[in-house]
Every structure is written in structure tokens, then in C-alpha cells.
Amino acid sequence: MARKLLLLAVVVSIVLFQFRVNLVSAQDNNKESGFEETEELTIADPIEPWNRLMFQFNDRLYFWVVKPVAKAYSFVLPQDDRVAIRNFLDNLLFPVRFVNCILQGKLKAAGNELLRFGINTTAGVFGFDDVAKKEFDLKGSKEDLGQSLAHYGAGHGFYIVWPVLGPSSLRDTIGLVGDYLLDPLSYIELKTSLAIRTGGYVNSASLHIGDYEDLVQGALDPYISLQDAYVQHRAKEVEK
Amino acid sequence: MKRRLTALLVIALVLVVQGFAQASEPIETVKTGVDRVIKVLKDPALKGAGKEKQRKEALREAVSGILDFREMAKRSLARQWRKLSDRQKDEFVELYRGLLERTYLKKIEAYQNEKILYKGQRLRGKYAIVKTIVVTSKQTEIPVDYKLLKRGDGWIVYDVIIEGVSLVNNYRRQFKSIIRRSSYEGLVKILREKNEKG
């Protein structure tokens, strides 16, 4: 079983490296010639019909369920409390960021993450307060496995829209699975972790009400707009 | 002799003024523009009921002071732009401006005293990037970059990049996709419908 998995991982890695898309090389150009015409970052979308369907699903899920719930939730809980909850959950994800900083050879950022975790868990009372940023100007780095894979040259592969989770790619999906294994919540009772994750999802949505609406409102083809925003945003994160 | 001196003085003055104009930095252009927008937003004379229209108009004018809609429209259309007649170009720029204003005026109006930090500028020839960070009330920092192009003695903004997502690129991808699926006329039709919906 383990050998089969390993084999699968190797095959997928090879395929991903073959794909490489133009993301990595586009990145290099971007640094130098980011001035005039930003070269287009594109992503292969062989399963577009499925993706569009999932986009529709997520769109409805957002407007019919997530948004009303998040609104009610934010009505009950003041913004400061919701920010504190976000900080707490972010703090728990320290292992994900730390490991991925190291994987990308960003030792200073890894050190910062370690310091942040130490300070915020103690002085910030289990991470509810981001003391590290406020008092010590220590900023976190949002590194994840998808970015680490990109760091070693893996391209997106192709675009995937997951129900509930939203835009992703083959590479970033593999990253998500890896990061899941580094998430402490994955090692507690499933029911509890699911409840916490759902709560975190609503909490996060409550802090972002309006973002998705803006995108849809400004777009002529919201599906393409979101896809492009995803690709551009990820490229920026990888670059950092 | 006296006339010559006057002429010389005038020339000197012109040179000095031009020198000042050329010294205008991209970062100053962005700062001035953003400050103007914020001033409108904070203007007590433009607050309250019945002032919405006036306020929108003032905002529109302030935003037009920074953004060059024609340059943005041109870059968003990319190859298609060259195929258009002058009249089509003008028409498209207006539709594009309508699209942006409709969406972004609302967003700007939601301004709640967010702090804007200017992180510096990078120049290369006639292009420049000004980096800013918007600090929201939710303790998040949103990087917003402005891309500028030298125009005469000053600078114009032709793209805004929010969290790595370029507005012009995002529209270019959409326009391209729509043109490929239908046609340029199809794109204009969709734009017009969207603007009419208000």
C-alpha cells in the first residue's frame, strides 16, 4: 500500500513537472519586466464544464447559505471577537507555515513563525491576540505546500474548482492534502475538528462579506474573473 | 537690452517650472490622487441625504484625476484595440469607464478611515510602480500597487493591482474569453447591458 502510494506520488510529481505551465518562467520575467505589459498568467482548464458547475454551486452556496449565516453570526459577535477567533485558528496552523518556510529555504521567515507562535501562544493568550505583530512588528508568512511545490518548479497542472473550498489547481490540491496532515486539527476527534473547521469557515466568511460580491459585480464573466484572480494571486504568493 | 533680459527671464522661468514639473514623482501622483479622493469622502458638505449625486460626481472627478481610463481600456482589450476604428475606441472607453465606476465607486464609498501606507516606488524608463498597503479595521493588510506611465511631464495610472491581482489583466482575460466565444460586438453588447442595469 505504502509503495503504491509512493509510486503514485512519483508519477504525479513527474506529470506536474512536465506541465510546469508557464507559471515559473513567467515569474522570472515578471520580476524584471513587471513594468509595462504584465505577461498573462494562464492556467489549463480541461475540466471547465465541471468547474463551471462547481462555480455555480459555490456561488449559490455563498449567497443562499454562507452569507446569511455569516451575517447573522457577525450580528451576534462583534468584529474584534471574530478577529480574535481568526487569530486563534491561524495560530494553530503554525506547523503548516513553519514546515513550508523550511521547505522553501526561508529560514528567517521560519524563525519569525517560530517566534510568532511562541509570543502569541503565551503573551497573546493561546493566539487570540496577535501581539507579535502589534508589539514586535513580526509578520507572518502565509506559506503553504502548494507554494513549496511551486518553489521546486511544479506548475499548477490544471484548474480545479472544489465544492465549498473553491478555486484550486492540481498542484494546490496536493498541497492542501499535505497541509492537512500538518494541521493539528486533523489529529483530534473528527466530529470536533469538523465543527471547528465549519466554525472557522463561517468566521472567516464573516470577515470577508462583500469581497466576493465585488468580484461578481465587476465581472462580465465571473467564472473567468475568479479563475484569473486565483492564478494571479497565487503567483504573487509564490513570488514572495 | 531690457527686452532681451525679459525674454531671458521668461525662458529661465519656463525652464524652472518645467524642472519642477519633471520632478513630479509617480509616488506623488498617486498620493495626490488618493488624498483628493479621501478629501471628497470626508467632506462634510457632501455627506448626508440628498447629497449622493453630488458626492458621486465629485468622486468620479477625483478618480478620473488618477486613472487614465483610455489607457486601461486599451490594455484590457490588447490586440482587439488595434482593430477598432476611432469611434469604436471612444465608445469602448466610455463603456469601460462606466463598468469601472459602477463597481468601484461603491467600493471607494465604503471607505472607513483605512490607513494607507506608501511603501515606495520603482522606476524604469517611462514606467513606474508605486507600492502601497491598505490597513483595514480587521487588522489585515492589503497590498495595493499602482502602475504608472509617463505622460508629458506627469504620470498617469494605467493599472491597479490588489493583492497581486491586476485589474487590467483580469479584464483582459475576461474580454478575450468573451470575444473568443462570441465576438467583439458580443462583448460590447454585454458591457452595455451591464451598464444599463445600473
Q: Chain A: residue nearest B194 by CA?
A: A220
B161: domain range?
2-197
Closest in B103, B128, B175 to A214, CB measured:
B103
Instruction: Confirm or reject contact between A220 and chain B (CB < 8 A).
Output: yes
For residues B46 and B155, give the distance between their C-alpha atoms in angstroms, rounded to a whole number: 28
pLDDT of B189 above 90: yes
- Please tell me the pTM assigned to this model: 0.83
Give the CATH number of the domain where residue B170 resides: 3.10.450.710
- Counting the structural domains of chain B, the total is 1
pLDDT at A191: 94
pLDDT of A32 above 70: no
pLDDT tens for B65-85 read 888 999 999 999 988 999 999
Instruction: Confirm or reject contact between A81 and chain B (CB < 8 A).
Output: no
pLDDT at B21: 47
Closest in A38, A218, A237 to B169, CB measured:
A38
Confidence class for position A55, pLDDT limits 50, 70, 90: very high
pLDDT of B60 above 80: yes
Do strands B115-124 and A166-169 pair parallel, antiparallel, or not at all (unpaired)? unpaired
| DSSP states of A171-201 | HHHHHHHHHHHH-GGGGS-HHHHHHHHHHHH
Which residues, in sequence order, are CB contacts of B125 under 8 Å at separation 6+? A35, B150
Average pLDDT over residues A47-51: 96
pLDDT of A21 above 50: no
Average pLDDT over residues B165-191: 94
Least confident of A83-87, A220-224, B38-42, B156-160: B38-42
pLDDT of B137 above 90: no
Which residues, in sequence order, are CB contacts of B16 under 8 Å at separation 6+? none
pLDDT at A167: 97
pLDDT at A146: 96
Do strands B127-135 and B115-124 pair parallel, antiparallel, or not at all (unpaired)? antiparallel
pLDDT tens for A63-101 read 999 999 999 999 999 999 999 999 999 999 999 999 999
Confidence class for position B2, pLDDT limits 50, 70, 90: low
For residues B3 and A31, give the distance between their C-alpha atoms in angstroms, rounded to a whole number: 55
C-alpha cell at A87: 487569530
Inter-chain contact A35–B147, Cβ cutoff 8 Å?
yes
Instruction: Confirm or reject contact between B136 and chain A (CB < 8 A).
Output: no
Instruction: Confirm or reject contact between B134 and chain A (CB < 8 A).
Output: no
Instruction: Confirm or reject contact between B79 and chain A (CB < 8 A).
Output: no
Q: What is the mean pLDDT of chain A?
A: 87
Q: What is the mean pLDDT of chain B?
A: 86
